[in-house]
Chain A
Amino acid sequence: MRYIEEYRNKEIARKILEQIKCISQKEINLMEVCGTHTVAIFRNGIKEILPPHINLISGPGCPVCVTPLRYIDEIIALSREDNFIITTFGDMMKVPGSTSTLEREKARGAEVRIVYSTLDALKIASDNPSKKVVFMGVGFETTSPTIAWAILKAEEEKIKNFLVLSAAKIMPPAMKQILESEEVHIDGFICPGHVSAIIGSYPYNFIPSQYGIPCVISGFEPLDILQSIFRLVKQIEKKEAKVEIQYKRVVKPEGNRIALEKINKVFTLVDAEWRGIGKIPLSGLEIREEYASFNARKLNVPVEETREIEGCRCGEVLRGVITPPECRLFKNICTPENPQGACMVSSEGTCAAYYQYGRKR
């Protein structure tokens, strides 16, 4: 894997940084939308080597973090039912709902299994025909094709006890919402690489055309990110605004047609609740009526009343309005062992990244 080394070359990094310093004049805010970018930026210490007037702001691109409290309560309610197996990606285990977490429900006897792909969940369903197996459908465009595929496969193989509780979301409407709210000034977007591999670059076109803000779709290696920052600075300084693809080795402008077809076949766009941001029109993916028998929401299991976590400012963190240390709970009562909000749970959450990789404390 020479490949990885090439994208971590110190000499090249130094050269790109010099170029950035050379052309960068004004103070700018760049938002990295994706949680994987946030972690890569911290892991590689990128904030420290950039000129101080280039400010990186973390966006809403951690699927665990934007999942509303109500959804966690729904899944916890299902986990308390007899003869249910909840299958989930590991990240979701510790996310606090109104009064509990899946990790606690598991310790108390609920059957919760961590899976690494939707197909594992499907296998659990076919191995346990007497139980209802619910998969937690959380994720962005990168995950939703696999959820769609699992539902199609369940239909084909007549696995009737497989269900999905969807909280799948799409990214561009959230970026629009952030721009519309004008709470935070953004000069450029570092767009998510994995999501864009599915959706391509066209869905971002409204950002430069309607808001005059440049976008660069970036890879995840340190040099990818530095180069994307360089391209953004260049557009900003030249007063240009367009969508560029830095992550060309993976992202095509038209995206992945097959994956998009699968999403459209199984899901329909609905208004969706984003934790901290609120309801965003046509930003969520709900299972179409044709596949309603796979929709766990149709079971109408009673869910406890949603109780917001007092003092938690995840919402403002997700919108880029504050940084985690500005939250009173951060590092005091909110830690990765005892997270109060989702941003501290997911390894890709902004609060967790600040906690794990932050400055001296």
Chain B
Amino acid sequence: MKEDEILLSHGSGGKLSYSLIKELFLSHFDNPYLERLDDGAVLDIEGVRLAYTTDSYTVDPLFFKGGNIGKLAVYGTVNDLAMCGAKPLYLSCSFIIEEGFPLSSLEKIVWSMKEASLIAQVEIVTGDTKVVNKGAADKIFINTSGIGVVREGVNISGNNAQVGDLIMVNGPIGNHGIAILSEREGLKFETAIKSDTTPLSSLVIDMLEVSRDIHVLRDPTRGGLATTLKEIALSSQVEVEIEEEKIPIEEGVRAACEILGYDPLYLANEGKLVAFVPPKDALAVLSKMKSNKYGRKSEIIGRVMKRSEGIVYLHTAIGGKRIIDMLTGEQLPRIC
């Protein structure tokens, strides 16, 4: 049975999304910028290197522990720019709002977007509003685009991982995924876990200060750390090994995963980055990361072993070894 309509899994950030992008979008829009499938494009415009990105935000529920859709829309785009090695400068913002949506909720969202843009030091300089009939959209959708400047000598891309690179994350993974799940209708459970929604631009600027040689930066959002690592391994054609014991995961996240049958490696994050750094700069970058408030719990979790067709291995805590693949479809709680 071949798909002849769009299924939810096409948007999950996993394999089906990847093949939709590759087979449909890339084949029609084909150009060297898009081909890299990075979080944004880096364009050379009259001598200035400009990073440019866009993202649309839909989240259920709109308000969750540690954030809301507005904060997500600002930080998400800021982070996509940061992952190009850019200093984010300006954002656009457009709203698609369902008829009947409470103005007070909209105000709350806008207020928190303003706050987020102050913290991330970006300005929202252009925008658009559309209101659609009740039922034509689910409450509110937000799109933001952003531009930022990339300094000379910085060359960051998902296809730039090199043999020997050490792989780092800036803190515990999976918090956003669990925070959202815990408040979703029908699955409400008590947890102290908050979403990690944060801007990563200041962290990236700090990191680039000690090393212009960072090869890859990615924020493991949908699809989680596992999917991001597999994408990088594929586009750089390398073999990656990571250590389960080194991956920071908060106990509450681990416990929720045990109950639901989830793998934390596939949970979404909104304030995490994965960095591939050459060994000569690794310790300096790590200590700089740890001195930034968004990177205090940074860890080296693995390394690039050799060139290959793009494989990720995980050494498990009890001494086993397994392959890590992309997320396929949504993670769903198990039936027993």
Interface residues of A (CB under 8 A from B): 1-2, 4, 8-10, 13-14, 34-36, 39, 42-49, 63-64, 89-94, 96, 100-101, 103-104, 107-108, 114-117, 120, 138-140, 142-143, 194-195, 220, 222-223, 226, 335-338, 346-348, 355-361
Contacts and interface: CB of A to CB of B under 8 A. Distances in A.
B28 interface: no
B332 A91 contact: yes
Contacts of A35: 334
Interface of B: 1-3, 5-9, 15-16, 19, 185-187, 245, 251-252, 254-255, 258, 261, 263, 311, 314-323, 325, 328-336
A36 B333 CA distance: 12
Given A42-B322, A94-B329, A139-B336, 20 more contacts: A1-B252, A13-B319, A14-B319, A43-B263, A44-B318, A45-B315, A63-B335, A91-B332, A91-B334, A103-B9, A116-B187, A142-B336, A143-B336, A195-B336, A226-B318, A337-B9, A337-B19, A337-B329, A338-B2, A347-B261
A138 B335 contact: yes
A336 B325 CA distance: 12
Nearest to A39: B261
Given A336-B328, A338-B1, A357-B322, A4 B255 contact: yes
Given A337-B19, A338-B2, A45 B316 contact: yes
B186 A44 contact: no
B319 A116 contact: no
11 contacts: A1-B255, A4-B258, A10-B245, A36-B261, A44-B317, A45-B314, A103-B8, A139-B336, A338-B1, A338-B2, A347-B261
B5 A48 contact: no
- Could you tell me the dominant secondary structure of chain B's interface residues? loop
A89 B335 contact: yes
A93 B16 CA distance: 16
A140 B334 CA distance: 12
A356 B19 CA distance: 17
Contact of B320 (A45, A90, A195): A45
B186 A45 contact: no
Contact of A89 (B9, B311, B332): B332
